Amino acid sequence: MFNLFSIILVILIFSCFLKSQGMKYIFFNLLILTTSLELFVEVGFFIKIANFDINYRTISEVILFFVSILILGKNPIRKNKIFIYAVGLLIILFAGTIVARNISNGYLSSKY
């Protein structure tokens, strides 16, 4: 079963691809569309088959993911950039783990 907004979303996604001036332009438009769906669409489904439904956000995230993979596959990435991103990601994960551990142990909770 389709909703009216499902058809509108398909038209919006196809318009992003048809008015393309390049892959980065498509990515930027899909990023804006995905962000808008994440912020403003709370309920609803793109397609529903029996008890299985797919949300609007899921569809836009999957399409954005595949466009991102296409862009990354076309452009070569230098090894030092990958290293810098990996170190930054590890620092963020380590800091998040420390904060989560402190919250779960009650160190950061208020004592009122």
The token pair at 105 is: 């142990």
17 phi/psi in degrees, rounded to 5: -75, -35
CB 59 within 8 Å of CB 9: yes
Q: What is the pLDDT of residues 33-64, one digit of tens each?
A: 888 888 887 777 777 787 888 777 788 888 88
Q: What is the pLDDT of residues 80-90, one digit of tens each?
A: 777 888 899 99
Q: What is the pTM of this model?
A: 0.61
